[in-house]
Amino acid sequence: MKLKITPSDKTGYLYPVTCTRKILECPVGTSTLGAELEKRLSKVLKSMGDEITLCLCEDFWPSRELVSSLCEIRREAVVYHGENKRVVAWISADVNIPNRAEWMPADPKSLIIAAPWHLLSVNEDIVGSIRKSVINGEVRKGVTVEGNIIVGKGTVILPGVYIDGNVVFGEDCKIGPNCYFRGNTFIGNKCHVGQAVEIKNSILMEKVSAGHLSYVGDSIIGASSNLGAGTITANFRHDGKSHRSILNGELVDTGRRKLGVITGDNVHTGIHTSIYPGRKIWPQMSTLPGDIVIKDIMP
* Residue 254 pLDDT greater than 90, yes or no: yes
Separation CA 90–CA 60 (nearest Å): 12
Instruction: Please tell me the least confidently modeled range out of 87-96, 111-120, 141-150.
Output: 87-96
Q: Side chain identity at 97, as an amino acid letter?
A: I
Calpha distance 207→189 (Å, rounded): 6
> What pLDDT, on the 0 to 100 scale, is given for residue 189?
98
DSSP 177: S
Q: How is the beta sheet containing 174-175 ordered, strand by strand?
A: 138-139, 156-157, 174-175, 192-195, 209-212, 226-227, 268-269
* Separation between Cα atoms, residue 141 and residue 270, nearest integer Å: 33
DSSP 112-176: E--STTHHHHHHHHHHTT--S-EE-SEE-TT-EEES-EEE-TT-EE-TT-EEES-EEE-SS-EE-
Question: Phi/psi of residue 153, each to 5°?
Answer: -60, 140
Backbone angles phi, psi at 206, to 5 degrees: -65, 150
Does residue 249 surpass a pLDDT of 80? yes
* DSSP annotation of 28: E
**212 included as an active-site residue:** yes
The whole-number average pLDDT for the span 165-182 is 98
Taking 80 as the threshold, does the pLDDT of residue 1 lie above it? no
Do residues 282 and 297 lie in contact, with contact meaning Cβ atoms separated by under 8 Å? yes
Dist CA 242 CA 20 (whole Å):
28
**Helix extents (H) in the chain:** 33-40, 42-47, 64-72, 118-127
> Higher pLDDT residue, 10 or 263?
263
The CB-based long-range contact list for 90-95 (8 Å cut-off, 24+ gap) reads: 90/54, 90/55, 91/48, 91/52, 91/53, 91/54, 91/55, 92/52, 92/53, 92/55, 93/51, 93/52, 93/53, 94/53, 95/4, 95/53, 95/55
With cut-offs at 50, 70 and 90, classify the pLDDT of residue 251: very high
pLDDT tens column, 194-248: 999 999 999 999 999 999 999 999 999 999 999 999 999 999 999 999 999 999 8
Residue-level pLDDT at 247: 93
Rounded distance, CA 276 to CA 142, Å? 34
3-state secondary structure of 72: helix
pLDDT at 299: 93
Instruction: Give the pLDDT of residue 180.
Output: 98
Mean pLDDT throughout 170-178?
98
Of 233, 227, 223, nearest in space to 188 by CA? 223
pLDDT in tens, 7-54: 987 778 999 999 999 999 999 999 999 999 999 999 888 877 677 899
- Asked if 190 contacts 205 with a C-beta cutoff of 8 angstroms, the reply is no
Structural domains of the chain ordered from first start: 11-114 (no CATH), 134-293 (2.160.10.10)
Among 192, 212, 238, 268, the active-site one is: 212
Apex 60 CA angle, 254 and 235, nearest 5: 25
Residue 243: its pLDDT value, please? 96
Q: What is the pLDDT of residue 11?
A: 77
Predicted local confidence at residue 219, as pLDDT = 98
Look over the chain and give the mean of its residue pLDDT values, rounded to a whole number. Answer: 95
> What does the alpha-carbon distance between residue 80 and residue 252 come to, in Å, rounded to a whole number?
23
| CB distance 132 to 149 below 8 Å | no
Cα separations (Å) of 205 from 21, 96, 272, 275? 12, 35, 22, 19
pLDDT at 114 over 80: yes
The predicted model scores a pTM of 0.95
Kindly report, residue by residue over 269-290, the tens digit of the pLDDT. Answer: 999 999 999 999 999 999 999 9
**pLDDT digit string (tens) for 143-169?**
999 999 999 999 999 999 999 999 999
pLDDT at 213: 97
Model confidence at 74, pLDDT cuts 50, 70, 90, reads confident
